[in-house]
Amino acid sequence: GAVVSQHPSWVICKSGTSVKIECRSLDFQATTMFWYRQFPKQSLMLMATSNEGSKATYEQGVEKDKFLINHASLTLSTLTVTSAHPEDSSFYICSARRGSVNTEAFFGQGTRLTVV
Amino acid sequence: KQEVTQIPAALSVPEGENLVLNCSFTDSAIYNLQWFRQDPGKGLTSLLLIQSSQREQTSGRLNASLDKSSGRSTLYIAASQPGDSATYLCAVNSGGYQKVTFGTGTKLQVIP
């Protein structure tokens, strides 16, 4: 299967700082990438859909100014958590799809963010 | 809005048993459905992908079925092993951007 690489796998940051998470499709081009977050013992919730060269589409309730998404190339999307607070501590995971129709979604290994 | 539910939420079985995990979704206009496993604190491992035109997919001891019209999918695990212990997630691909909506998950424990 295709490979989606996410970096870093874990990060600890202080309250008020910003953290950037990268998601790369290593062996295919992804016009669309998705960002999810997962709270402990809960399922994955879609945060936003990232389209190469255009603005991301955020799900209801997700603050676009707090979670900045950039999809500057067909192989890279970034999620920046700005002015992080302890309640932003979560597991963030990205997904990319190869092709546009009926294709399998490939997931990164996730990033564990802890804000202290 | 697509909603995906998995039953049961947790399951504990002795090693060697065959078991069935259930997934239901509200909008039957799907592109495909995937089953994943997630180990504690880890990312997702894709198990099976079923396209909307397919009825089932098999991989080793795993068999997934899809009944799109009724909004249901099942994951059958044969001869369960302790290594199968994990949370199993059902994910439905639907909507204009082909968003993947995850189910609530089934936490499986296989007892040696």
Q: Write the pLDDT tens digit of every residue in B66-89.
A: 999 999 999 999 999 999 999 999
Q: What is the pLDDT along chain A (116 residues), one digit of tens a residue?
A: 678 999 999 999 999 999 999 999 998 888 889 999 998 878 899 999 988 888 899 999 999 999 999 988 889 999 999 999 999 999 999 998 876 656 778 899 999 999 99
Residue range B92-110: mean pLDDT, rounded: 87
* CA separation for the pair A76, A30 (Å, rounded): 8
C-alpha torsion angle, residues A39, A45, A47, A48 (rounded to 10): 150
pLDDT band with cut points at 50, 70 and 90 for residue B99: confident
**Spacing of C-alpha A98 from chain mean position:** 16
Mutate to test the interface with B, among A102, A111, A114 (most CBs of B within 10 A): A102
* CA separation for the pair A47, B27 (Å, rounded): 20
Distance from CA of A25 to the nearest CA of B (A): 16
Cβ contacts of residue A42 below 8 Å, gap of 6+?
none
Query: Which two three-digit tokens encode residue B26?
Result: 């509200």
Q: Is B99 on the interface with A (CB under 8 A)?
A: yes
Comparing B33 with B95, the larger pLDDT belongs to B33
Q: Do A97 and B49 touch (CB under 8 A)?
A: no
Q: Do A106 and B49 touch (CB under 8 A)?
A: no
How many angstroms separate the Cα of A14 from the Cα of each of A85, A105, A111, B12? 8, 33, 16, 39
Residue type, B13: V
CB-based contact A9:A109 (threshold 8 Å): yes
Burial B38-58 (b: 16+ CB within 10 A, else e): beeeebbebbbbbbbeeeebe
Q: Is B52 on the interface with A (CB under 8 A)?
A: yes
Q: Locate tokens 């049961």: which residue?
A: B8
Q: Is B61 on the interface with A (CB under 8 A)?
A: no
Q: Do A104 and B34 touch (CB under 8 A)?
A: yes
